[in-house]
Amino acid sequence: MPRSRHKRVKTPRTRRVVTIALPLAITASIPVARYAWPDDDSSTETLDLGEIASMADIQREQAAARGAHDRSPSPEATPTQTPTPTPTSEPTEEPTEEPTEEPEETEEPEPEEEPEEAEEPEPEPEPEPEPTVAGQMYVTTGLNVRTGPGQHAEIATVLERGTEVDITGETDGDWSQIIYSDEVLWVSSDYLAEEEPEEEAEPEEEEDEGLSMAECPTGSSVESGLTQDAIRVHRAVCAQYPEIDSYGGLRPGDSGAHGSGRALDIMVTGSLGDSIAEWVRANYEELGVSEVIWEQRIWTVERSGEGWRPMEDRGSATANHYDHVHVTVYGDSGTI
């Protein structure tokens, strides 16, 4: 440890002792100087600057002894060498190329549909004009007048041969539209003529003609409810074919000719039925006959030029008229 020197400084009023420890070598080299500071009583105090420097050096040495350490490198220490990496036999994984994502296809926006224009309301159909008279024609035979163009239509009335009718000029196939009794009706065009037909000469009566209006010996109960033409057919056939004793007449509730008393069924089969059917056809005008049905065939006055026409199968012998001759009449057009 360095020796300490104690310097006593005497002052007029007080005595302060400042102890500064300096190494001997430093102490010997510092020159001594004295300074005097004026005191209140003009006394002076002498301070040795060399002592102050020695004290500063001593404090630095003490501080170094307490916490400082030698920072000089140790002779055994060698620079740290970085170890060289040992190559390995394992292959280095090469970076894999990530698949390039293809750009997603974007859907093109569909063109906006133009708003549909509001449909104009359909105009209300104009009412059809009422038929008007276009001319006149004559009926050439006893003719059925129907409510529509076709044999399926209902018969409204029957016109006699030579009747003048008003036509509208409207046609539907073989049918002509007429105005009769202020009604629009239809007739077959085949039985209309522009000129009035000549009057037919009345046939001479023959005794063996067989047309008779006497009551049938087998009874006339079937005549109840029949029209005059149907009664004529019944009595004439009964007189001509006395072996026939079964007939069919009025059928209440029937919507056809039987319901209105304009039809007669002659119950017969076989060749006798053929004979009766042909005989009725031959005398249709005197008897007021409009049609005959026999063995699934039909003959009508309106289409007499076509002869017998086939009919559809109705499923049974009676419905197909194999067990009776069916006769339809106009009502009251006969002449006997």
In tens, the pLDDT along 154-190 reads 888 888 888 999 999 999 999 999 999 899 999 999 8
Residue 210 DSSP label? -
What confidence tens digit (pLDDT) does each residue in 254-264 have? 888 999 999 99
Closest alpha carbon to 26 in 70, 61, 69: 61
Residue 312 or residue 118, greater confidence: 312
pLDDT of residue 28: 46
Which domains, from first to last, does the chain contain? Answer: 4-64 (no CATH), 135-193 (2.30.30.40), 210-329 (no CATH)
Q: Percentage of the chain surpassing pLDDT 90?
A: 38
Residue 293 or residue 80, greater confidence: 293
Average model confidence (pLDDT) across the chain: 76
Mean pLDDT, range 145-150, rounded to an integer: 91
pLDDT of residue 131: 85
Residue 260 DSSP label? T
Instruction: Give CA–CA dist 311/293, Å, rounded.
Output: 9
What confidence tens digit (pLDDT) does each residue in 45-72 have? 455 555 555 676 666 766 666 655 555 5
pLDDT of residue 332: 86
What confidence tens digit (pLDDT) does each residue in 241-289 have? 999 989 999 988 888 899 999 999 999 999 899 999 999 999 999 999 9
pLDDT band at 143 (very low <50, low <70, confident <90, very high): confident
Q: What is the DSSP string of 124-193?
A: PPPPPPPP---EEEEE-S-EEEESSSSTTSPEEEEEPTT-EEEEEEEEETTEEEEEETTEEEEEEGGGEE
Q: Take residue 308 and report the two structure tokens written for it.
A: 């017998």
Residue 51 or residue 147, greater confidence: 147
Q: Is 286 helix (H, G, I), strand (E, B) or coil?
A: helix
Instruction: Give CA–CA dist 320/312, Å, rounded.
Output: 8
